[in-house]
């Protein structure tokens, strides 16, 4: 939904921008960053259920966004584009990624059940993404989606297929890798910001129009998330009894709708736009504005909102009992 809405907004405010390129920008800015949201969430005591939802949402939306970006890039490079060809490529990317991800998770699960050495088990966890990614890419499916599916399944089954010492070892190692990769990407892209701004100013677009584009894309990105979360919450609360029983409180909806910071995936995807993309430098600058804007707006106000809504955080006593167990 974010990809489509932001794409239409970008197409409307950037003169001469092809629709495929606009949807590419929408796909770039659509996935939220789990690290940014959950880091703040844990510090301010956000309910753990919401933290888990934000983490899972980010994983699946990262994959969905990259599939959408690939589809838009294909539409830009193709001489003749039809709805059927684009739909077929999208279905292959999604369906193939799901199937291979499940197959990779089953295969790695069988292997890891028989491994009890924490060092070897952690090594296998670094192999698992390649077991899912490479076969998916070989059949032109989404390798990213395959990795996400395999990771979710293996993570969900980790208490069954891994020992406690293996899980602790794996968690510490992956947190270190995540820290290094996240910061390396932000550093490398930060070094390119000045060149991006300079290239965008060299386009045949006024500075006022450039600022308008960045602000419009930022507001659309924030607004569509708020509208979607509250609309779905209202649908559940006004729907049949089974839906009403599962409906969120309005306070939960407000918190989730305001936890849409963008981060490393948006930055990396923006710079992965094909060189022949029309107005590429302006699109990259708009994506940077979304990342900076959401981190600034949401990141500085989310702690205040959590305190204002008065949602119950994790119970320290229950956490101590779980850790002891």
- Burial class from Cβ neighbours inside 10 Å (0-12, 13-18, 19+) for residue 199 reads middle
The CA-atom distances, in angstroms, between 13 and each of 18, 41, 197, 211, 290 are 12, 34, 18, 11, 16
Q: How confident is the model at residue 111 (pLDDT cuts 50, 70, 90)?
A: very high
Is residue 154's pLDDT more than 90? Answer: yes
Is residue 161's pLDDT more than 80? Answer: yes
Mean pLDDT, range 96-103, rounded to an integer: 93
Among 69-83, 96-110, 243-257, the least confident range: 69-83
Q: How confident is the model at residue 80 (pLDDT cuts 50, 70, 90)?
A: low
| Residue 208 tokens, joined | 């006022």
Q: How confident is the model at residue 190 (pLDDT cuts 50, 70, 90)?
A: confident
Report pLDDT for 241. 85
Q: How confident is the model at residue 187 (pLDDT cuts 50, 70, 90)?
A: confident
pTM for the model: 0.80
Report pLDDT for 126. 93
| Residue 217 tokens, joined | 């894309």
Highest mean predicted confidence (pLDDT) among 81-90, 156-165, 178-187, 212-221: 212-221
């Amino acid at each position: 939904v974010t990809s489509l809405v932001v794409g239409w907004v970008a197409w409307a405010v950037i003169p001469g921008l092809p629709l495929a390129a606009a949807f590419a920008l929408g796909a770039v800015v659509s996935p939220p960053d789990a690290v940014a949201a959950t880091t703040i969430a844990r510090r301010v005591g956000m309910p753990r259920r919401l933290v888990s939802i934000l983490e899972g949402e980010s994983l699946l939306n990262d994959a969905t966004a990259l599939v959408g970006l690939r589809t838009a890039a294909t539409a830009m490079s193709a001489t003749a584009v039809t709805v059927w060809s684009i739909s077929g490529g999208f279905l292959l990317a999604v369906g193939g990624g799901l199937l291979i991800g499940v197959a990779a998770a089953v295969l790695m699960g069988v292997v890891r059940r028989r491994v009890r050495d924490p060092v070897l088990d952690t090594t296998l966890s670094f192999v698992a993404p390649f077991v899912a990614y490479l076969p998916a890419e070989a059949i032109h499916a989404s390798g990213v989606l395959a990795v996400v599916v395999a990771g979710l399944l293996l993570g969900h089954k980790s208490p069954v297929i891994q020992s406690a010492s293996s899980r602790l070892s794996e968690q510490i190692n992956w947190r270190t890798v995540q820290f290094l990769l996240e910061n390396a990407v932000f550093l490398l892209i930060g070094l390119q910001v000045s060149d991006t701004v300079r290239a965008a100013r060299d386009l045949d677009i006024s500075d006022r129009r450039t600022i308008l584009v960045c602000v419009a894309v930022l507001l659309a990105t924030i607004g569509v998330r708020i509208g979607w979360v509250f609309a779905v919450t209202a649908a559940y609360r006004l729907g049949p009894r089974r839906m009403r029983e599962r409906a969120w409180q309005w306070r939960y909806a407000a918190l989730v709708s305001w936890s849409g910071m963008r981060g490393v995936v948006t930055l990396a995807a923006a710079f992965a736009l094909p060189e022949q993309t029309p107005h590429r430098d302006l699109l990259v600058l708009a994506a940077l504005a979304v990342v900076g804007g959401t981190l600034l707006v949401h990141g500085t106000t989310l702690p205040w909102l959590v305190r204002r809504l008065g949602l119950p955080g994790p119970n320290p006593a229950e956490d101590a009992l779980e850790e002891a167990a």
